[in-house]
Amino acid sequence: MTVARSSLVSLSATPYYHVIGRCVRRAFLCGVDSASGRCFEHRREWIVERLALLSSVFAIEVCAYAVMSNHYHLVIKLNPAVADDWSNAEVIARWCSLYSGHPLVQRHQAGEALSPGELSAIFDLVAMYRTRLADLSWFMRGLNHHIACRANAEDNCTGHFWEGRFKSQALLDEQALISCMAYVDLNPIRASIADTPERSDFTSIQQRIKQSKSKPQPQTGSMSKEIPRLLGFSGRLDGNQGLPFSLDDYLNLVDWSGRAIHPDKNGKIPDETPPILSRLGIAPDELIHHLSRQQQHGFYHVIGKASTIRDVLNELGVAFLKGISAANRLFPQLK
């Protein structure tokens, strides 16, 4: 059932969202098309580079990403409070780094003298830009439209490149967030493209592993725009800054999960269960079942504990959300 985007994205419910973009029909985002023999591997870099630019411009932070052959996954955090702190000049500079801007804005940037009425209109435009720079739909428009135009130009064709609008799932709590991030980062392993997280090209887990082994880099400013700025870890489940668990916990969870769902393991779950699963009340066997699926079966528009899903119904303005049964299985200790 189609649900309005306004009913799916609610900052009062959660700032975290899982986003999926998929190519239309037989179009290839990346990889090698077995039908035509053409290689589109270079398009993976397009996605990563565009994410890097958008994450440096928008008040939206990237938690996880994976670029596959005909689709991609993102886990992002909306952070409108950051946009609220930007000056009017910074809002204009950020917006105009992606778009040409309104003619009034162009005249203002050129240093032309404007009338009081025109200056008032500028303030209205800045308010609109500020809202858009913290908006999920505008962020995705900046990604998908750019890639579609570039791919169509390369293919010398016109028409739709993406299979409709992007799909999104609200991640309502820490349990949903960490399980979805692992789901995204393990896409290449699940698809038998890679055998370890560190060999999973064009994923956030590979980027995090590489960065953890190199000299620490600041989260803003000096980091290269060729790779996305990933949201860091606070190391506290109750933390307001960064992801609400530690980097070591997350890397251990992804490594453990990757070994458990690897085809050579025949579904056997290693005994060394990461302690974070106990702290978050996540059932290990159900998590592996969850991560091994081609889609996150059982959930649809939202992911979270059963109690969290029930609590958010009024905020999203709906009477029912699919996922209660799946939540009871995956998060049994925290119903």
Residue whose pair of structure tokens reads 């085809």 in the numeric block: 263
How many CB atoms within 10 Å of residue 89?
Answer: 11
Minimum mean pLDDT range among 110-114, 177-181, 270-274: 270-274
The closest of 261, 108, 285 to 190, measured between CA atoms, is 261
Select the more confidently predicted residue: 304 or 237. 304
Is 273's pLDDT higher than 90?
Answer: no
| CA dist., res. 313 & res. 186, Å (int) | 30
Select the more confidently predicted residue: 33 or 240. 33
Residue 2: band (very low, low, confident or very high) from pLDDT cuts 50, 70, 90: low
Residue whose pair of structure tokens reads 């993976």 in the numeric block: 44
Taking the CA of residue 183 as centre, how many other CA atoms within 13 Å lie in the half-sphere pointing to its CB? 26
Phi, psi of 32 (to 5 degrees): -115, 125
Find all residues with CB under 8 Å of 221, minimum gap 6, and list them.
none
| CA dist., res. 46 & res. 278, Å (int) | 39
Task: Report the range out of 117-131, 149-163, 205-219, 283-297 with the highest average pLDDT.
Answer: 117-131
**Per the structure block, which two tokens stand in for 130?**
């500020």
What are the strands of the beta sheet with 60-67, ordered from one edge? 60-67, 71-78, 16-22, 167-171, 302-303
pTM for this structure? 0.87
Q: Dihedral of CA 104/109/110/115: which sign?
A: positive
Mean pLDDT of all residues belonging to the chain: 85
The DSSP bridge partners found for residue 72 are 21, 67
Residue 120: band (very low, low, confident or very high) from pLDDT cuts 50, 70, 90: very high
Phi, psi of 319 (to 5 degrees): -95, -20
Residue 5: band (very low, low, confident or very high) from pLDDT cuts 50, 70, 90: low
Minimum mean pLDDT range among 42-51, 180-189, 215-224: 215-224
How many CB atoms within 10 Å of residue 37?
Answer: 7
Q: Where in the chain is the domain with CATH 3.30.70.1290?
A: 5-82+135-334
The DSSP bridge partners found for residue 77 are 16, 61
Residue 215: band (very low, low, confident or very high) from pLDDT cuts 50, 70, 90: low
Pairing of strands 302-303, 60-67: unpaired
Phi, psi of 175 (to 5 degrees): -60, -45
| CA dist., res. 194 & res. 254, Å (int) | 13
Residue 296: band (very low, low, confident or very high) from pLDDT cuts 50, 70, 90: low
In order, the DSSP letters of 265-334 are GTTPPPS---HHHHHHT--HHHHHHHHHSSS-TT-SSEES-HHHHHHHHHHHT-S--TTHHHHHHHSGGG
152-182 pLDDT, tens digit each? 999 888 888 998 889 999 999 999 999 999 9
Domain covering 5-82+135-334 assigned CATH 3.40.50.2000 in the classification: no
**Per the structure block, which two tokens stand in for 115?**
């009338």
Taking the CA of residue 10 as centre, how many other CA atoms within 13 Å lie in the half-sphere pointing to its CB? 15
Give residue 289's identity as a one-letter amino acid code.
H
Is 43's pLDDT higher than 60?
Answer: yes
Mean pLDDT of 121-125: 95
Return the percent helix, strand and coil in the chain, to nearest 5. 45, 10, 40
